[in-house]
Structure formats: structure tokens, C-alpha cells
Amino acid sequence: MTRYDTVVIGAGTAGLTTACHLAQSGQKVLVVAKGIGALLLASGSIDVLGFHPADSLTPVKNPAEKLDDFLADRPDHPYNLVGKETLKTGIDQFLQLVNQAGLDYQGDLNRNWMLPSGMGAVHPTCLAPASMVKGDLSTDESMLIVGFNELRDFFPALIAQNINEQKLGVEAGSISLEINIPIAGAMNATPIELAHAFEQDAFRNQVIKAIAAQAKSYDRVGFPAALGIKQHATAVAHLEKQLNRPVFEISSLPPSVPGRRLYEALKAALLKAGGRLIIGSQIVEGTIENGRITQIRMETASRLKAVIANHYVLATGGIFGGGIFADAEGMVTEPIFNLPVAADTNRHHWFEKKFISPTGQPVFNFGVKANSRLQPLNGDSQPVAENLYVAGAVIAGSEWTRGRTGEGIAVATAAAITAQITSQAAKSLR
């Protein structure tokens, strides 16, 4: 039976980032997941702190300056477990990781990019792909928003109108193209299909010809976030050269192409470092003996297979990711290790009366309580297992809509867990 240094359960941003850091440090790492997490649902950017106070309509310009106030208001937030320095380390390590893997992410903890969302709202985010950063609304450069009639869930006229009505100092115009998207062949193309089309010279030339005249009246041109997957840099460079102005991407509804690029980059980095990745298998249970995880059991085609490691990282996500289950009877559980979950069993308390509530929805704070080492607790101050760690949204208090902190939690907890496991590995070699 193969024994690993660390097994990571979950292949979202938290799980893959942790696994990559550990594999690059020389650890023998296995990642097991039922799917690729929420990466295909997310924008691909890293939100650290977007709004504070929670009901503020003014985006945070400098997350580092607002963190202390945010943490004072949210003592239960996972940032309080890892601390500001670990958050900064996590951001720096993530930037280095993804940029070495072939992406081009930009930013730091001392500023937020103000990016247009798929509805024309302002999306403050700390780290973002260069192709999105060029759409920053902090500058006064005008923009033409380009859409496609076959891409039904992207509305260029609405985006431009909302940008203009907010009086941000940025003039926005729009155009919607009637160009057949190859592969799709229907009036309901997805961003993935559009991304594949943008990897074809002929399709890009059609787009350039259709918008060239109108684009001359604007400083930059915005497209749905679908400018290629594997040939993203080539597609952007071609469009910019022919249009003679910067080109940027705007997040659209899922499936997320930037999220797909991020997944592929992290996957490639993990495999290059010698890690192993199994997608499509589910961990059904873990065995805890004498305060340690001794094994986990994974579904295979014919039987349950035991997997043994020195350390285990649970990065299965919260309610959205399936890491926390809630049923109609009000039972809230963690399904693999049966860890204690901090949750209200009265279902009437799970949601606020307003769907978009400035205080967020309580149900999204449900999760596993952890100590400062990110070890899950058994209801008091004692860890359930000394070699088990929790990362990302499975941790209690991770509700991301209050402040917009979702991926910041992922990269910060990845850095914290990596530091602890590598430190223990180093001590064992002395």
C-alpha cells in the first residue's frame, strides 16, 4: 500500500494551493476529490476584503488598512485564526505559484482592483489575471463592451449602462455581435465554447472586423471572460495588436473560463512537482484512533480503498462545495470524519428575511470550528485529530458575502497549513 506524506481532500483553490505548496517543498502528496470544487463557478480572482462595514456601498481600496477593523467586527472569521502576516504570505505565495505555472496574476494586499462585474457593478478584488486588470474602473479610460447574441447570459448594453449611471468617471459603450460561435451552433453558447472559438484565428478576425470601427472611439475594449483557455495569451495579444488598444475580460456567469485556467495551472503545477491527483473519487470515511487519523477510505470502481498518510487536509468547501451537509430536519453534518459542526439546528434561523442581506446569510457561516493551527476541534479546545487540518470554506465563520473574503480564506489557510506540515517534516529529519 502506498503511503503519502499528505493527503488533501478537495480540489478547489484551498485544496490545490495547499497541495502545490507541499509538493513543491518535497512532500509526497495526493489530492482526492469528487469534482474540481467551485473553481468553475468563481471569477478566477482572489477577493481578500471588498467591503467594510458589511452594509457599505463603497468598495475597500486598501484591504491591508481595513483588516483590523474588519477582524474586530468579525472575531469568528478564519482570518483571526491565521493572522494578517499569514494572509500576506498566502497572497505572495499564491502569486508566485500561479505565475510560475504560466498565468499572469497581478496585485497585492495594499490595493484592490475595481473591476466591472457581469452586471456592471464594481467588483473590488485583490489579485486578478492581467486580462481582467486592464478593465480597472479606477482609471478614466473609456471602454467598449462587446457581447455576442449567442452568449445569452452576457448583456453588454446593461453592463455599459450600469457603469455610466454610477458616474465612475468611465465612459462605457456597447455592441452585440451576430457572429456564429463555432462548436456551439445554437443560440445558447457557453463561455467555454466561446473560449474555444477565440482560440481560432478566423473567429478572432471576424470579431476584429465587426468592432474595429466602433472601437476607435474608445480607449479599451472589454469582452466576456472567454478569451481562450490554453491559448489565452495568444488570443489577447492578437486582439490588442489588431485593435491597437488594450483588451480586457469581464466575468460572466458559469462555467468560468478564468476559473478553468486557474484549475489547469494549479493541476499542472501539482503534477510537475510530483504530486498525484484523483478526480471523480469520493472519500467516504476516515478512521480516528488515539487522536490521529490512521486512514481514509476512498471509492473505486469495485471496492473501498484505504489511503494512509502522515497528514490529512480537509478542503471540501462549505454548504456550496458539499463539505457541509444540511438536511430538511435541521441536521448539519461534516460527512467524512463526522466532525462537530458549528450550526443552528433551528432552520428558521438559517436565513435572513431579505435575500440580499447586508449581514449575510447565517447558513453560510456553518462549518468546522478550528484552533490557530487549523486543527478541527471536538467542541472545546481539544483537536479531534492532531494530524488533520481544515482549509478554506469548510471552516466555521467563512461566510464570504460579508466583506467578500472567500478566496482570501483559501490562500491564507493554505499558507498556514503548509508552514505547519513542512515545519514538522523538517523537525522529523533532525
Per-residue pLDDT of the chain (430 residues; tens, 9 = 90+): 679 999 999 999 999 999 999 999 999 999 999 988 788 888 999 999 999 987 888 999 999 999 999 999 999 999 999 999 999 999 999 999 999 999 999 999 999 999 999 999 999 999 999 999 999 999 999 999 999 999 988 999 999 999 999 999 999 999 999 998 887 555 688 999 999 999 999 999 999 999 999 999 999 999 999 999 999 999 999 999 999 999 999 999 999 999 999 999 999 999 999 999 999 998 999 999 999 999 999 988 888 999 999 999 999 998 878 899 988 788 899 999 999 999 888 888 888 888 777 777 888 889 999 999 999 998 778 999 999 999 999 999 998 778 889 899 999 999 999 999 998 877 766 5
Residue 252 host element (H or E): none
Spatial separation of the C-alpha atoms in residues 366 and 205, rounded to whole Å: 49
* Helix and strand numbers, DSSP H then E, in the chain: 11, 19
- Least Cα distance to 383 among 374, 391, 392 occurs for 374
What SS3 state is found at 244?
coil
| Residues in contact with 38: Cβ distance below 8 Å, sequence separation at least 6, in sequence order | 12, 13, 259, 317, 320, 321
3-state helix, strand, coil in the chain (%, to 5): 35, 20, 45
| Residues in contact with 426: Cβ distance below 8 Å, sequence separation at least 6, in sequence order | none
Q: Which three cell numbers stand for residue 349?
A: 434561523
CB atoms within 10 A of CB 349: 12
- Domains of the chain as residue ranges with CATH: 3-102+261-429 (3.50.50.60), 142-245 (3.40.50)
Q: With contact defined as beta carbons under 8 Å apart, do 101 and 232 qualify?
A: no
Residue 94 host element (H or E): helix 84-100
What SS3 state is found at 144?
strand
Q: What is the pTM (predicted TM-score) of this model?
A: 0.95
Spatial separation of the C-alpha atoms in residues 194 and 152, rounded to whole Å: 12
Using the CB atoms, write b or e for 363-393: b if 16+ within 10 Å.
bbbbbbbbeeebbbbeeeeebbbebbbbbbb
